[in-house]
Structure 1
C-alpha cells in the first residue's frame, strides 16, 4: 500500500485509524480479565459467607456437645440423687465448677420449673416465663435444636437438653444454650475483611494485568509499526523476534511473509526490467523501419516481412512470460496418468522434427506417472530446441527416460558446444544466455526458465551436466507419487 493510498484511506475513514481507547486489544483483554475476576469475587463471597456461617454453627454444636459430655461425666461421678434436694445440690456443684463460654448459658430445671443458671443474666428468650423455657420444662428426653428469634442482637439459639432421672422418672433438666449473634458478628467481620482483601487484590491484579498485557501485545505493536513503515520501495523492515510462544511465532511468520513479498517484488521488478529491455529492441526496429519506409514495393515488402518477424518474436516473448506467470497458479497443471514408455516414444517422435540432427532414443522407462502431458512435452521440446541451437547437423542429440528410486528421469543430451561452469546456474534465470550462445540463436532467453518452472510445479527439479566442447545433458527429475 502506498503512502498516498494510506493517506486517502485515513481521510475517507478516519475511524479506522482512531477507533478509540475501548477498541484497543489491550483494553478489551483487561475488561474481559476484570469481568472474570469480578464475577469470581461476586460468586465467591456468598459461598464464603455461607461456609463461614456453617463453620460457626459446626463449632458451636461441637462446644455444646462437649458441655453435655462434661455434665454427663460429672453426674455419673455423683451418687444417684434420691430426691430433688440432692438433684439441686448436684446442679449447684456443677454450675459452680464449670464456667460457660461467652454467649453460652447453663440452665437447670427441677420438676418443670426453673432452678438456676450460669450466668444468671440471660437474654429475653431465656427468661423463666419465656416460650422456650416453658417448652424445655415439659421435655422428658434428649433434644438438640435451634430456636429462631427476631432479635439481631441475640440471633438464633442453639440448645442441647439433657434429662436427669430420679428413681426412673425424669425430675430434672440440664440445658446448654448458645446465642449466635456474637458468632455471626465475628463471621461477618471476617467476611468483610476478606471482601476488602479481595477488592485490593482485584485492584492490584487490574494494574498488573494492564502492565502484563502491554508487554504481551508489544510484538503486535511492533508488527503494526513495521507494517505501516513498509511500502513498495522498502520491504527490508523486520520485526525482532524475542523468546518463544505465539507472539514469537507470529513475528517469525510475519517476517517470513515479508521475505516472500520482498523476493516476489524483486523478481517482479527484474521481470519488468528484463521484459522491457527485450521488448524495446523489436519495437525500436519496427519503428525505425516504418519511419524510413519508401514507395518502392520491394522495399515495402521487405519492411513488412521484417516487421512481421519482429512481431512474431514479441508474441513468443509475451507467451513465454504468460507461461511463467501461470506456473505459480494452482490450475497451471492438468494432471493425468500416463504410461512412461509411450510418453517417451511420443516425445522422441516430436523432437526429431525440430531440426536435422543425429537423433537417438537411448532408453525408455516403464511404469505409470501422474503428470501434465502438455507441460512435460513443452519442457522436453524446449530442451530439444535448445540442444539444436547449440549443435551442428552432424552432432548427436539423445532422448531417454528411466525410473529410479520412485523418480522419473527424462533427459535430453547433446554433443554440442557445452556450457561453462559459471553459466550453468545462471542460464535458468529469465532472459539469461550462455557465454557460448551462437549468434543465430533467436530464443527469448525464457526457455530454460519455463523448463525449471514446469519441473517445480510437478514437485521436481532440473539437473544439468555439461562440459565445454563435449556437450550437455538436461534431466527432468519428477517424483512418481507427487500427487
Structure 2
C-alpha cells in the first residue's frame, strides 16, 4: 500500500507540474495576444484618438489588466513601464533582470531571479508611421507556482500517511480478529497429544474460519474415536488373552516326559490357541466396526437372506430349526454382516438349549425398519443381565449352557456393533413360555414397496 501511495504521489506531482508549465505558458501567451489586439486597434479608449506614444499605449493597457498573484505585466520604451502591483521579492526591481528580458532576441524564455525562475513572453510593438519601438512582457514566477503544487502534494502526502497509519491500525485489529481462530487451531494442535486429544476449538460465527474450526474439530473427533478404538482393542486383548496364555504357560511348565502327559498338554495348548485365535478375530471385528466401511448396504431380498441364514445355522447343532416368518420385501442391508449377526445369535441359542430343542429364526420388514430375530426355548436371560448382556465380555449367567465351555463374551457385542453400524439397535426379551428372543432392528430404504410378511411353511406364529 505504501508503494502504491508513493507511486500515486509521484505521478500526481508530475501531472500537476506539467499542468503548471502549460498554464504558465498559456497565460503568458494570452496576455501577449490581448496586448497585440489592443495595439493593433491603436485607439485610446479614454480620448478616442490614436496613440502617438508607445509608453502611453503600454501604460493604458496595463491599467486595465489584473494579473494573478505570481504574474507580472510590464513594458519597456525608453525605460520600465509597470503597474503598481508587485510581488514579494519583486524581480523588476533588478534592472539586470529587466534588461535580460527586453534585450533577449527571442519572444519567450526563462530568466533566473532571487525568487526562482521567471518565465516570460514578449511582444515588440511599433506605432504606425513611427520609428520608436517598445515591448510588452507577460511573466510568471514559475517556482512560486510550482511551490503551490508541492504544498498540495505535501498535504496529500500527509493525509495519505495518516490514512495509511489508520488503515494499518484497522487492518492490524481486523487481521488479529480474523486470525485469532487460526491461532486457536495452532495452539490447540500444539497441545494435542495421544493422551490429550479432548481439546476442541471454540466455533464462533458462520464464516470460513468458523467452518475451518468445525472441520478441525471433526477431524479431532475422528482421531479421538480412532485412539479410543485402539486403546479399547489393546485393553480387550490384554484382558482376554491373559487367561489362555497363563493356561498354556502353566501346562508347558509342568509337562513331563510321559507321552500321554505330553499329548494331553498339547491338546490343551491347541484348544487354548484356537480360543485365542477366535478372541483376536472377534476383537478385530469390533475394532473394524468403528470404521465407516464396516458395512456396505445393498438392495437385498429379505426372503433370500432369511432362507440363506436358515440353511447355514442348521450346521451349528442338532436342533429343530424353524423358519418362523419371512418377508417379501427388498431391503438395503449388508448381507454378510447381517448373516454374521444372525449366525452369532443362533450359536448363542445352541449353547443354551439341548439336542432336539426348537430354535426359531425369522425376519420381517415394516415401513421404516427390518427386524431379524432368533428365539429359543432355553432357560432365558436373568432380569439383571438384560441391560448388560450386549456389552463386551459380558457373559451373563452361564448356568443354562449345555456345555462347559464359556465364550469370551464378545459374540453379542459383535451383534450389537453390526446393528449400530446399520444405525439400528439390538434387543432381547424373555418368552412367556420359556427361553429368550434376541433381535435386531435395522432402518432400511425399501427398494420395492407394498411387500408383506408371511409365515414360513410349517412355522408357528411369530411370538
Q: State if a TM-score over 0.5 links the two structures.
A: yes
2:105 & 2:419 partners in 1: Cα distance? 103
Q: Relative to structure 1, is the Cα distance of residues 476 and 374 closer, same or farther in structure 2, using a 3 angstrom cutoff?
A: same
Q: Which moved more, 1:419-428 or 1:355-364?
A: 419-428
Aligned to 2:454: none
1:300 & 1:415 partners in 2: Cα distance? 41
2:383 & 2:217 partners in 1: Cα distance? 35
1:438 & 1:176 partners in 2: Cα distance? 127
Counterpart among 444, 451, 454 of residue 408 in structure 2: 444
The alignment of Structure 1 onto Structure 2 pairs a total of residues equal to 421
Aligned to 2:5: 41
* Greater share of residues in helix: 1
Aligned to 1:128: 102
Contact preservation (8 Å) 2:429, 2:438: no
Give how far 1:317 is off: 0.8
Give yes or no for the alignment of 1:95 onto 2:69: no
1:455 & 1:79 partners in 2: Cα distance? 118
2:240 & 2:424 partners in 1: Cα distance? 25
Q: Relative to structure 1, is the Cα distance of residues 426 and 58 closer, same or farther in structure 2, using a 3 angstrom cutoff?
A: farther
Give the secondary-structure state (helix, strand or coil) at the position aligned to 1:467.
strand
Q: Which has the larger radius of gyration?
A: 2
- 1:36-435 mapped onto 2 (5 Å cutoff): 37-53=1-17, 56=20, 78=45, 83-85=50-52, 92-106=59-73, 118=83, 127-133=101-107, 157=119, 177-195=139-157, 198-199=160-161, 217=179, 219-221=181-183, 223-239=185-201, 245=207, 250-251=212-213, 253-293=215-255, 298-328=260-290, 338-355=300-317, 356-367=319-330, 369=332, 372-390=334-352, 393-402=356-365, 404=367, 409=370, 411-415=372-376, 426-434=388-396
1:452 & 1:81 partners in 2: Cα distance? 123
1:77 & 1:427 partners in 2: Cα distance? 128
Q: Deviations over 1:332-351 (max 9, x none)?
A: 56777655543332222213
1:232 & 1:295 partners in 2: Cα distance? 50
Give the secondary-structure state (helix, strand or coil) at the position aligned to 1:127.
helix
Q: Relative to structure 1, is the Cα distance of residues 152 and 264 closer, same or farther in structure 2, using a 3 angstrom cutoff?
A: farther
Aligned to 2:442: 477
1:343 & 1:117 partners in 2: Cα distance? 119
Give the secondary-structure state (helix, strand or coil) at the position aligned to 2:322.
strand
Give the secondary-structure state (helix, strand or coil) at the position aligned to 2:102.
coil
TM-score by length of 1: 0.65
Q: Relative to structure 1, is the Cα distance of residues 202 and 259 closer, same or farther in structure 2, using a 3 angstrom cutoff?
A: same
Q: Relative to structure 1, is the Cα distance of residues 325 and 185 closer, same or farther in structure 2, using a 3 angstrom cutoff?
A: same
TM-score by length of 2: 0.68
* Unaligned segments of structure 1, at least 5 residues: 1-36, 136-146, 167-171
1:275 & 1:397 partners in 2: Cα distance? 34
Give the secondary-structure state (helix, strand or coil) at the position aligned to 2:394.
coil
Give the secondary-structure state (helix, strand or coil) at the position aligned to 1:399.
strand
Give how far 1:175 is off: 7.3
Give the secondary-structure state (helix, strand or coil) at the position aligned to 2:365.
strand
